[in-house]
Amino acid sequence: MGQFLSSCTSHFFADDVAAILAGQMGVRFTDQCLDLEKRVKSFLDRLEFYSCLSDQPLNRSKTDALFSARAIGLPKFTISFDSDGGDEIKWKKEYKYLGYIISSKLGWGKLIKDVECKVRKRISLIRSFKLFGCSSPSVRKVLFYSHVLPLFTWIYPVYPLLTRKQQESMCLSLMRRSTFLKLSKLIQIGNILLCY
Confidence of residue 153 (pLDDT cuts 50, 70, 90): confident
* 182 half-sphere exposure, CB direction, 13 A CA radius: 14
pLDDT in tens, 25-63: 788 888 888 888 888 888 888 888 888 888 888 777 777
User: Domain limits of the chain?
Assistant: 9-103, 109-187
pTM for the structure as a whole: 0.62
- Average confidence score pLDDT of the chain: 76
Q: Apex CA 51: angle with CA 48 and CA 55, to 5°?
A: 145
